[in-house]
Structure 1
Amino acid sequence: MRITAEPAFVLHARPWRETSLLVEVLSLNHGRLGLIARGVKGPKRHPLRAALQPLQSIRLDAVQTGELAQLRSAEATDAAPRLVGDAMLSGFYLSELTLRLTPRGEAQPQLFGAYAMTRERLRSGEPLGWTLRRFERDLLDALGFGFDWTRDGDGEPLDPAARYRVDPEHGPRRLLSDRGQADRSGAATGRGLLDLAADRIPANDDLPGLRRVMRGVLAHHLGPRGLKSWEMLGGLPAGGRAKPFDTPD
């Protein structure tokens, strides 16, 4: 199968044999693709290398005869976001999460659009925590794992004043008022979940709860092997401002 002038985002690239790279991309019409870029490593910098950096938007030509496609050409279609610090790690998280949860070869136009939007939000410096919660919500929706964030698992409207855990298979579950603090720490407020549903930035106090419940849902779908980006962000020194996510509570 020939793939021509396909829009894509570079998720990851790693060495493949002596002079090549294995590049994972999220493409518009073919979903996640594994590409072999032959001859791009060596003593002289190959012009193609600049277009194969993570977060780069590209247009590619390739030929696919099996699980992996042979990359024929690729050109950058814009400048990749120049990210530093927590924003850079958030970009790594964005790509790693997409890479881990998206199957190869299945078109994901909704996810492609969400990735493009989140990439621009990182570029423009929007609040990291809220930017990543929105992407997690949109990724779950695109892959068929999402919920109606306005109702609990039994179909009842969420109470803004209540607290909820999120069952990865059934959605929000209201906590009883007599639950202990340890149990409540893994929950989000109904108000925060309703803000997530409405794409309305939550109050600062509600963001940590959204982070925790989304982490639990994602961990369920990722299986026993977590994400390297979670480990990297967990190792950052504590600071005065809230991080987009941190180690489990």
Structure 2
Amino acid sequence: MRYDAEAAYVLHARPWRETSVLLELLTEHHGRIGLVARGVQGPKRHVLRAALQPLQHIRFDGVQRGELAQLRGAEAIDAAPRLSSDAALAGFYVSELMLRLAPRQDPYSGLYELYGQVRERLRAGAALAWTLRRFERDLIEALGFGFDLSHDGDGAPVDPAARYRLDPEHGPRRVLSERIDGGGRSRTATGRALLALAGDRTPEADDLAGLRRVLREVLAHHLGGRGLKSWELMSELGRIAAPTRSAQASSATDADDSVS
């Protein structure tokens, strides 16, 4: 198979041998593919090398031979977002999730557009926690794992005043008592939070951490028990923070509650 001027986002790039790079791309028409870019580490190939960085939007030519394609050429379509600190970690998390959950050469409808959308939200400096919760919701839906967040697994409407966990197979399940994890945090979300997520309305600040934890359980299930490096990094940095009612503190800990 040949790829001619195929649009794609770079999900991951790592050096291979002395002068080559192994790439994972999310393409517009062919889903996720792996490529070998040979001879791009030399001093005269810095323009091409710059186009092959994570989050970069490119147009490339290549030939599929076996599991990995051979890159023939690439150019940047636009400038990648210049992210730092928490936003950079969020970009890493988004790419890692897509890399782990999108099968190779299986072009699920909407994944390419979804990645582009969250990339632009990160570029624009949108609130990280809400940006990532929307991305997680839409990714689960696009991969065929989604469920109705406005009704529980038995078909009853979600009660805004109740608390719920998210069953990876059946959706919201009402709980009568809190589920507490090892750090003393609730492992449930309010019905109010689920309804806000279902309606694409920004949740109350106190609800964002609960949404993060219940969505993480769904994602962990579909990741097959092997977690993400971005989750490990957040734990190692000790940046898992409890939610706060203060608007000022909320903005400061927004990223802490978003990707851990």
> What is the DSSP-based 3-state SS (H/G/I as helix, E as strand, rest coil) of the residue aligned with 2:51?
helix
Instruction: Tell me by how many angstroms 1:245 deviates.
Output: 4.9
1:75-224 correspondence runs (5 A): 75-176=75-176, 179-180=177-178, 182=180, 185-224=186-225
Instruction: Tell me by how many angstroms 1:234 deviates.
Output: 2.5
Q: Which residue matches 2:232?
A: 231
Structure 1: which 5+ residue stretches go unaligned? none
Contact map agreement 2:159 2:192 (CA 8 A) in 1: yes
Contact map agreement 2:179 2:188 (CA 8 A) in 1: no
Q: Could you tell me how far apart the structure 2 residues matched to 1:124 and 1:83 are?
A: 10
Contact map agreement 1:233 1:246 (CA 8 A) in 2: no
Instruction: Tell me by how many angstroms 1:108 deviates.
Output: 2.6
Q: Could you tell me how far apart the structure 2 residues matched to 1:201 and 1:6 are?
A: 35
Instruction: Tell me by how many angstroms 1:247 deviates.
Output: 10
The 3 A distance-change label for structure 1 pair 180 and 23 is closer
One-letter amino acid of the structure 2 residue matched with residue 22 of structure 1: L
For these two proteins, the number of residue pairs brought into alignment is 247
Contact map agreement 1:29 1:109 (CA 8 A) in 2: no
Instruction: Tell me by how many angstroms 1:182 deviates.
Output: 2.2
Q: Could you tell me how far apart the structure 2 residues matched to 1:243 and 1:223 are?
A: 27
Q: Which residue matches 1:63?
A: 63
The 3 A distance-change label for structure 1 pair 22 and 181 is closer
> What is the DSSP-based 3-state SS (H/G/I as helix, E as strand, rest coil) of the residue aligned with 1:99?
helix
Q: Could you tell me how far apart the structure 2 residues matched to 1:108 and 1:60 are?
A: 20
Q: Could you tell me how far apart the structure 2 residues matched to 1:63 and 1:214 are?
A: 38
Q: Does 1:244 align with 2:245?
A: no
Contact map agreement 1:25 1:34 (CA 8 A) in 2: yes
Contact map agreement 2:63 2:71 (CA 8 A) in 1: yes
The 3 A distance-change label for structure 1 pair 158 and 180 is closer
TM-score w.r.t. structure 2 length? 0.90
Contact map agreement 1:12 1:24 (CA 8 A) in 2: yes
Instruction: Tell me by how many angstroms 1:17 deviates.
Output: 2.0
TM-score w.r.t. structure 1 length? 0.93
One-letter amino acid of the structure 1 residue matched with residue 85 of structure 2: G
Structure 1 vs Structure 2: percent identity of aligned residues? 66
Q: Could you tell me how far apart the structure 1 residues matched to 2:235 and 2:5 are?
A: 39
Structure 2: which 5+ residue stretches go unaligned? 242-248
Deviations 1:168-216 (Å, cap 9, x if unpaired)?
111110011xx24627810001111111111111010110100000111
The 3 A distance-change label for structure 1 pair 129 and 180 is closer
One-letter amino acid of the structure 2 residue matched with residue 242 of structure 1: T
Contact map agreement 2:21 2:38 (CA 8 A) in 1: yes
Q: Which stretch shifts more, 18-27 or 179-188? A: 179-188
1:4-19 correspondence runs (5 A): 4-19=4-19
Contact map agreement 1:28 1:108 (CA 8 A) in 2: no
Instruction: Tell me by how many angstroms 1:242 deviates.
Output: 1.9
1:24-63 correspondence runs (5 A): 24-63=24-63
> What is the DSSP-based 3-state SS (H/G/I as helix, E as strand, rest coil) of the residue aligned with 2:107?
coil
Q: Could you tell me how far apart the structure 1 residues matched to 2:23 and 2:259 are?
A: 31
Q: Could you tell me how far apart the structure 1 residues matched to 2:68 and 2:132 are?
A: 30
Q: Could you tell me how far apart the structure 2 residues matched to 1:247 and 1:122 are?
A: 13
Q: Could you tell me how far apart the structure 2 residues matched to 1:220 and 1:147 are?
A: 15
Contact map agreement 1:212 1:248 (CA 8 A) in 2: no
